[in-house]
Structure 1
Amino acid sequence: MDSVYTPDHPASAQILFDCVAGSRAYGTSHADSDEDIRGIFVLPAAAYLDLAPPPNQIADARNNVVYYSLRRTIELLTAANPSLLELLYMPADCVRRSSPEMQPLLQQRALFVSRRCADTHVGYAFSQIRKARGQNKWINQPKSAQPPRREDHCQVIRRDRLVGGAAPCRPQSLAASGLDLARHHAARLEHARDIYRLYDYGDAARGVFRGDALAVESIAADDEAARFAGLLLFNEHGWKQAVADHQNYWTWRRERNEARWRQQEVGELDFDAKNLMHTIRLLLSGKAILERGEPLVRVAGESLQLLRDIRTGRYRYDEILAMADALVADCENLKQRCDLPAETDPAAANALLFRLTQDWEARNR
């Protein structure tokens, strides 16, 4: 269960830790970068005995500000979540607040560093590649402001094409058929999914689509032959998917950082450079875990220059994928000889959760 962030929620006394995260922590920010706040809040143990579950996360509408409950934090750390692990290794200049209860968690942060962390970093990295490809489609194939019409997902077999003609029983688009669904009624074709019989009622018709639904009629026996106009094939699943895609596209358009997409919209790049920059950053961090036992948060030197060059479009898509493949190979080799545990000890993580909660409750009695 999640909750909506406000300046008073979570309450100040509940906040164990918060920091400036994202590009400002990584060292990759620029003038148009958003400011991302990430933090941890705590609830009394009794809150988890309530029938209404407490929130796992408190966030604003755009997820620029996100606080995780301590319980959810430990749970995600135990699962080797890269975003939560980096909170335990934030540069000092990014930390805004850190409570006394946060110190034992920071002192025991190595508990959550494991070989599994390298695997999750690789997994997250390649999800960024998929994301870059998906949003690239939105850039190159923008959607109109008008939502998808049901009529555009209809095919028709007119009565005169059911048997006769050179290509009998071949469906054609609604537009090509010349039929106006507003002048027709529909009846379900028995034992067939998404196929309807059409009947022409002219000006007296109430239409096939009414409001949010396709209206299924009972046709009088006298009208069955006289008014039969053909068959309607309505791809309802395809229409619903198109509606969802349209909504996702326009949500992305409303909420996106415009400066981020400028290069793609003018044709300088054919991929989302920021996502691919984060692909390489995550892989560098996974490699650092296996080499040094901790993630790479603040990037510097040649690695930082590489990320900036990717962000500004210096490298082609295939070159970046080759870099990613090489880093994955490095991680696999390092994993074979590193001495990190395979994964976090859940009993130790659970004990730490109990201790931190009890310490906070004792201080806030």
Structure 2
Amino acid sequence: MRRIEVEQRTILIGLAGSHGYGLNRPDSDYDYRGVFIASKRYYLGFDSIEQKDTGWDEPGIFPFIDGNQDTVIYELRKILHLLAGANPNVLELLWLPTYPILTNVGQHLINHRNIFLSKKVKHTYSGYAFAQIKKMETHRKWLLNPPNKKPVPSDFGIEEEPALSKDELNAFLEYLYLLIRGKIEFLEESEELYKLLTADIDFKGVLKQYTLDDETLDYTQKLTNSRKDFIRLLQKSQGYQIAVREWKAYQSWLKNRNPVRAEMERKSGYDLKHGMHCIRLLRSGLEILQTGEVIVDRRIAGDVDDLKAILRGDYTYEQLMKMAEDLVKQMDDFYEKSTLNSQPDLERINNLCIELVEMQGWE
């Protein structure tokens, strides 16, 4: 959809990111997030759209997002799925302190925001926090022990024949995934378990990210009746491809990181922004379990100065990791005490979706 079509059917736009958290500086970007309801053809026809995240240089209605590449406006059904899944980046959209655009339909969505809260926040907020830790650990490894040369096949014992290509590796790992999925389909019927194992776990991603251990290799060789030298070459090729991928990521990191952020990272020994977001996410998840509310603005939450201290490098890496560990334990302890439902009420969310579409109308 063209920008003007999306904006004509937009029900809310909020100012997110550092401005939403109360952590913005004079040079901070403006991150806008919004919701629109697609027109009739996208609901009843073959066309589909999930979000608008480009094309902000086209003619539009809202001048404040002209040329702003940090703008995303989600289609209603896409954002309701993310909200029901307790996605941290999307849940906060309904609790932002500032909405440059808010229609009566958007207000109706905000009025029902609490139906999206469930105990799932423990897993999603801690999961997003762990993703920040993973990035911190990767950058810390590069800071303390940077790669000194581009990997070559001989580093992995691949001498006489070329390593398996990326396409060959992916094709074989896709085959393994299909084997796993095939076995799962014969398990005792259990809808939640089936969904977990076939949809929620990214087996292909796991297979591509980690090399297979020796025991798994032997079993895979028997399972697939493949030659042993192929299986060994698979392991070596996986290791080589992972190393090449990390080398490219390291080079991109060196080239593209912000100079000021890089200097702070060098002094502190870890990425301060990732560290701050890790703690913010864990505190936010704990607050939701405790209060049943999402506190986006950290000035209201009362820890804005502490989060700014993390950004200044006032905490060591070890102190920050201990802080994260303590917050995870608090979330575990409070999980059972929380009065939130274990899962969101999908029927109520579905009915809300219908209400919002009918309120907006087709044209």
Give yes or no for TM over 0.5. Answer: yes
Equivalent residue for 1:354? 354
Cα distance in structure 1, aligned partners of 2:4 and 2:243: 37
Cα distance in structure 2, aligned partners of 1:195 and 1:295: 50
Equivalent residue for 1:334? 334
Residues 24-43 of structure 1, C-alpha deviations (whole Å, 9 max, x = no match):
11012224433322122221
Question: Which amino acid counterpart does residue 347 of structure 2 have in structure 1?
Answer: A
Residue 57 (1) aligns with residue 51 (2): yes
Is the alpha carbon distance of 1:32 and 1:243 closer, same or farther for their aligned partners in structure 2, counting shifts above 3 Å?
A: farther
Deviation, 1:107, is: 0.6
Contact 1:10 1:58 in 2 (8 A): no
Contact 1:154 1:234 in 2 (8 A): no
Contact 2:6 2:38 in 1 (8 A): no
**More helix per residue:** 2
Equivalent residue for 2:81? 75
Identity of aligned residues (%): 30
Where does 1:172-321 land on structure 2 (aligned, <5 Å)?
192-193=229-230, 235-253=236-254, 255-265=256-266, 268-300=267-299, 302-321=302-321
Equivalent residue for 2:130? 126
Is the alpha carbon distance of 1:237 and 1:340 closer, same or farther for their aligned partners in structure 2, counting shifts above 3 Å?
A: closer
| Structure 1 spans left out of the alignment, 5+ residues | 158-189, 197-232
Deviation, 1:153, is: 5.7
Q: Which of 107, 110, 113 is matched with 1:106 structurally? A: 110
Q: Which of 117, 137, 140 is matched with 2:121 structurally? A: 117
Equivalent residue for 1:86? 92
Cα distance in structure 1, aligned partners of 2:248 and 2:326: 37
| Structure 2 spans left out of the alignment, 5+ residues | 56-67, 161-226
Cα distance in structure 2, aligned partners of 1:18 and 1:115: 27
Residues 175-219 of structure 1, C-alpha deviations (whole Å, 9 max, x = no match):
xxxxxxxxxxxxxxx9733999xxxxxxxxxxxxxxxxxxxxxxx
Is the alpha carbon distance of 1:237 and 1:293 closer, same or farther for their aligned partners in structure 2, counting shifts above 3 Å?
A: closer
Residues 327-349 of structure 1, C-alpha deviations (whole Å, 9 max, x = no match):
22322333333322222100110
Cα distance in structure 2, aligned partners of 1:57 and 1:46: 15
Residues 73-114 of structure 1, C-alpha deviations (whole Å, 9 max, x = no match):
10011111111110000003xx22112211110111111122
Cα distance in structure 2, aligned partners of 1:236 and 1:23: 42
Cα distance in structure 2, aligned partners of 1:85 and 1:195: 46
Cα distance in structure 1, aligned partners of 2:333 and 2:76: 34
Deviation, 1:311, is: 1.3
Contact 1:42 1:69 in 2 (8 A): yes
TM-score (norm 1): 0.68
Cα distance in structure 1, aligned partners of 2:256 and 2:49: 24
Question: Which amino acid counterpart does residue 305 of structure 2 have in structure 1?
Answer: Q
Match of 1:101, SS state, is helix
TM-score (norm 2): 0.68
Deviation, 1:282, is: 1.1
Contact 2:32 2:70 in 1 (8 A): yes
CA-atom RMSD in angstroms: 3.2
Deviation, 1:269, is: 1.4
Is the alpha carbon distance of 1:273 and 1:17 closer, same or farther for their aligned partners in structure 2, counting shifts above 3 Å?
A: same
Question: Which amino acid counterpart does residue 261 of structure 1 have in structure 2?
Answer: A
Deviation, 1:273, is: 1.4
Deviation, 1:281, is: 0.8
Contact 1:56 1:68 in 2 (8 A): yes
Contact 1:117 1:289 in 2 (8 A): yes
Cα distance in structure 2, aligned partners of 1:322 and 1:234: 36
Is the alpha carbon distance of 1:149 and 1:82 closer, same or farther for their aligned partners in structure 2, counting shifts above 3 Å?
A: same
Equivalent residue for 1:221? none
Cα distance in structure 2, aligned partners of 1:103 and 1:131: 36
Residues 6-31 of structure 1, C-alpha deviations (whole Å, 9 max, x = no match):
8x266321222212211111012224
Paired residue total: 284
Is the alpha carbon distance of 1:358 and 1:300 closer, same or farther for their aligned partners in structure 2, counting shifts above 3 Å?
A: same
Question: Which amino acid counterpart does residue 262 of structure 2 have in structure 1?
Answer: W
Is the alpha carbon distance of 1:49 and 1:115 closer, same or farther for their aligned partners in structure 2, counting shifts above 3 Å?
A: same
Deviation, 1:123, is: 2.0
Question: Which amino acid counterpart does residue 346 of structure 2 have in structure 1?
Answer: P
Deviation, 1:137, is: 3.1
Match of 1:192, SS state, is helix
